[in-house]
């Protein structure tokens, strides 16, 4: 085998390799300048970013280059003209792919503050929405035209080098190159880990040094992780006992000794009674619930949390008139992760959300209790519910689905690729509520909005910011739509008997300078029922998984039910802990501390001071508690122990 030095020298002389490395370098320069201008990285971090970046850029060549080399060998016996046309054509399309990837990476970084990851993998499945977003957000003809011009220029400039390579072509040399790269690809597949190749603790710097191609395929390969294989584990019985102690409440009676199934006797114990205007009267009621899950509603958007732009005027008023929870954290960074936590009341499992996994039907969830009590159960969504497997999940878990396809043309005032305008789907939700009321049924409606999403477009003339005017405009429009919905609901006969819940699915951005930046998971939770509940501020630390048991205690204060929830009623026994995660990192917040569990790594513990993380020595009891929740949640899911109770 040729020497490594000769191998790299020979490969570097290939025009395609040089072009690839130059485009990767230019992409990294653009992203780094963006990072510098937005105070994501510092000048002192640049040498490490570009040195590690070069190493990371070389790794994908081991995987992608051998097919080109083998194809070149197959064309060797063709005429010189045919080989030249093949090389030029292949090179032309390769350049287009490289440039398209560079543009996509820049757009992705602007949106998510990271190189390609599991979100990009998920989006590849839904090309209609992604292509539509690009078409509606960007001047696509101009970009495509510019892309073709740049590609032609690059090919024209390099045509002489390609001709020389054809003239000097050697079969043995190309086969040696291909074989050597295949050998290196086997080594890198087994031993290379971009997560551990870093000279910085700044998450932005680490991401800038990574290679988008490699991270995309790595995320695809690791999109579903076996918790027991990749994470620190403890004895199953120990984990179960720890969780049972933490989630047990005075009103609970466990049904067995091998899981967390229990009986919630809320009729006899309700420490949250003080939030009712008349608890004795409330105990005789079954209240309707309308739960609005708002796309990307970070807590930082609300004036109540310090925002100065007045983009949530209606929600700020509701916060003063209802139950306002100030320390709620999203479990993840995707809509499906938020819906999973809100409906299933379970900590996140590593990899994809349960909503996007197999065997996700007939699970015990918030609708299971409402179904038992005779409620009509609806999922109302402004987009198409095939997206993110929502249709399969909700239809398989007791919900009647109303989505974009159920709206008549005259019911749609505006739509973009992600769905109809929020005011349109909320207006449809009023119609659904009226239908349930006429059937003399209490109802639970889970609504998912879409307008606070790129391209941030909505009906013109609704607010004082323009459609397509960015995130702030989209947030203010959604606030307007929610206000319009609730004010319209006031004249309906079911309004006085209805509890409105408003919460985010996740924050608008999740990237930060550190792993799991806690401020990027902080979301608002408002529960509003002016005829039923006293305005109250609740400052207990809690998670999206605590919403279901809390809502049930308010909607069914005089009723008891069997439950499999990991979450706790915030009003009865404040959990004072929260779960946050990416698709690989699992965080557990408690007592101003944060434990992070990562694949193939030991747990790390941090102290939280003003949302800043300071690494400290591990606190054994806290680490065990964190492991226990995540380990048990994974075990119950894979063992089909999250299924609904059998009658």
**Three-class secondary structure of residue 240 per DSSP:** helix
The average pLDDT across 109-126 equals 69
- Domain ranges for the chain, please list them: 4-221, 229-266+273-638
Report the distance separating Cα 556 and Cα 533, nearest Å: 13
Sheet with 561-563: list strands edge to edge: 252-254, 262-264, 561-563
Percent of the chain with pLDDT over 70: 89
**Three-class secondary structure of residue 416 per DSSP:** strand
The average pLDDT across 411-424 equals 94
Q: What angle do CA 131, 60, 97 make, to 5 degrees?
A: 35
The average pLDDT across 150-171 equals 79
Who contacts 141 (Cβ-Cβ below 8 Å, separation ≥6)? none
What is the per-residue pLDDT for 122? 63
Of 431, 411, 430, residue with least CA distance to 421: 411
**Other beta carbons less than 10 A from residue 23's beta carbon:** 17
Element (H, E) at 421: none
Indicate the range of 144-158, 367-381, 428-442 predicted with least confidence. 144-158
For residue range 330-381, list pLDDT tens digits in order. 999 999 999 999 999 999 998 889 998 888 999 999 999 999 999 999 999 9
Find the Cα–Cα–Cα–Cα dihedral 394, 400, 405, 407, rounded to 10°.
-140
Q: What angle do CA 485, 406, 524 make, to 5 degrees?
A: 35
Confidence class for position 213, pLDDT limits 50, 70, 90: confident
Please tell me which residue, 609 or 182, carries the higher pLDDT value: 609
Q: What is the 3-state secondary structure (H, E, C) of 82-130?
A: HHHHHHHHHHHHHHHHHHHHHHHHHHHHHHHCCCCCHHHHHHHHCHHHH
Query: Cβ(341)–Cβ(331) under 8 Å?
Result: yes
Of 382, 366, 378, residue with least CA distance to 441: 378
Percent of the chain with pLDDT over 90: 56
Please tell me which residue, 68 or 221, carries the higher pLDDT value: 68
Token digits for 265?
């006797």
Record the pTM: 0.80
Query: Cβ(187)–Cβ(590) under 8 Å?
Result: no
For residue range 471-529, list pLDDT tens digits in order. 999 999 999 999 999 999 999 999 999 999 999 999 987 665 557 889 999 999 999 99
User: Mean pLDDT across the chain, nearest whole number?
Assistant: 88
Q: Is the pLDDT of residue 88 over 60?
A: yes
Question: What homologous superfamily is domain 229-266+273-638 in, according to CATH?
Answer: Alkaline Phosphatase, subunit A (3.40.720.10)
Find the Cα–Cα–Cα–Cα dihedral 445, 461, 454, 99, rounded to 10°.
160
Q: Please confirm whether the linkage preceding 389 is cis (ω < 30° from 0).
A: no
What is the per-residue pLDDT for 1? 43
Of 236, 224, 249, residue with least CA distance to 624: 236
Confidence class for position 110, pLDDT limits 50, 70, 90: confident
Angle between helix 46-74 and helix 171-191 axes, rounded to 10 deg:
130
Token digits for 575?
């959990």
Token digits for 526?
């408002």
Q: Is the pLDDT of residue 126 over 60?
A: no
For residue range 214-243, list pLDDT tens digits in order. 887 776 665 667 888 889 999 999 999 999
Q: Is the pLDDT of residue 2 over 50?
A: no
Q: Is the pLDDT of residue 270 over 80?
A: no
**CA 55 to each of CA 19, 49, 550: distance values in angstroms, whole numbers, following the listed order:** 16, 10, 50
């Amino acid at each position: 085998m040729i020497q490594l030095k000769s191998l790299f020298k020979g490969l570097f002389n290939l025009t395609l390799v040089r072009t690839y490395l130059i485009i990767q370098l230019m992409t990294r320069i653009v992203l780094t300048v963006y990072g510098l201008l937005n105070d994501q990285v510092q000048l002192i971090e640049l040498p490490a970013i570009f040195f590690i970046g070069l190493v990371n850029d070389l790794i994908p060549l081991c995987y992608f280059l051998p097919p080109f080399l083998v194809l070149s060998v197959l064309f060797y016996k063709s005429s010189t003209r045919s080989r030249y046309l093949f090389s030029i054509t292949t090179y032309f399309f390769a350049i287009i792919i490289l440039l398209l990837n560079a543009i996509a990476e820049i757009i992705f970084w602007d949106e998510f503050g990271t190189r390609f990851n599991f979100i990009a993998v998920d989006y590849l499945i839904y090309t209609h929405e992604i292509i539509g977003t690009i078409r509606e957000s960007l001047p696509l003809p101009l970009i495509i035209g510019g892309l073709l011009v740049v590609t032609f220029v690059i090919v024209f400039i390099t045509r002489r080098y390609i001709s020389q390579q054809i003239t000097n072509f050697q079969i043995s040399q190309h086969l040696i190159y291909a074989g050597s790269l295949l050998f290196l690809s086997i080594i890198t597949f087994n031993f290379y880990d971009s997560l551990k190749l870093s000279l910085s603790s700044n998450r932005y710097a680490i991401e800038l040094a990574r290679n988008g191609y490699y991270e995309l395929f790595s995320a695809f390969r690791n999109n579903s992780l076996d918790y027991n294989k990749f994470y620190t584990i403890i004895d199953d019985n120990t984990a179960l006992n720890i969780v049972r102690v933490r989630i047990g409440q005075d009103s609970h009676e466990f049904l067995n000794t091998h899981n967390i199934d229990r009986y919630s006797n809320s009729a006899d114990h309700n420490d949250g009674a003080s939030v009712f205007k008349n608890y004795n009267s409330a105990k005789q009621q079954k209240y309707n619930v309308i739960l609005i899950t708002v796309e990307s509603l970070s807590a930082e958007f609300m004036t109540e949390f310090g925002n100065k732009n007045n983009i949530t005027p209606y929600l700020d008023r509701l916060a003063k008139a209802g139950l306002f929870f100030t320390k709620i954290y999203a479990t993840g960074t995707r809509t499906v992760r938020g819906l999973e936590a809100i409906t299933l009341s379970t900590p996140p499992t590593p990899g994809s959300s349960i909503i996007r996994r197999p065997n996700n039907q007939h699970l015990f969830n918030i609708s299971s209790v409402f179904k038992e009590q005779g409620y009509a159960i609806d999922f109302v969504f402004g987009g198409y519910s095939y997206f993110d497997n929502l249709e399969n999940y909700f239809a398989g878990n007791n919900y009647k689905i109303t989505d974009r396809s159920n709206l008549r043309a005259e019911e749609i005032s505006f739509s973009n690729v992600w769905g109809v305008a929020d005011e349109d789907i909320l207006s449809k939700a009023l119609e659904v509520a009226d239908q349930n009321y006429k059937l003399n049924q209490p109802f639970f409606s889970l609504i998912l909005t879409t307008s606070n999403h790129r391209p941030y477009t909505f009906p013109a003339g609704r607010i004082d910011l323009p459609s397509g005017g960015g995130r702030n405009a989209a947030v203010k429009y959604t606030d307007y739509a929610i206000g319009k919905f609730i004010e319209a609901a006031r004249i309906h006969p079911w309004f006085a008997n209805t509890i409105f819940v408003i919460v985010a699915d996740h924050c608008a951005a999740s990237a930060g300078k550190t792993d799991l930046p806690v401020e990027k998971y902080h979301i608002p939770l408002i529960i509003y029922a002016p005829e039923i509940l006293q305005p109250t501020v609740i400052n207990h630390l809690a998670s999206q998984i605590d919403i279901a048991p809390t809502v049930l205690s308010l909607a069914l204060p005089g009723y008891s039910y069997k439950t499999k929830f990991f979450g706790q009623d915030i009003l009865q026994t404040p959990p004072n802990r929260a779960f946050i995660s990416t698709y690989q990192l699992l965080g557990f917040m408690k007592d101003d501390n944060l434990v992070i569990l990562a694949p193939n790594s030991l747990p790390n513990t941090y102290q939280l001071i003003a949302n800043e993380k300071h690494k400290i020595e591990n606190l054994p009891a806290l680490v065990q508690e964190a492991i226990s929740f995540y380990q048990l949640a994974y075990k119950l899911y894979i063992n089909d122990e999250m299924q609904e109770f059998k009658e």
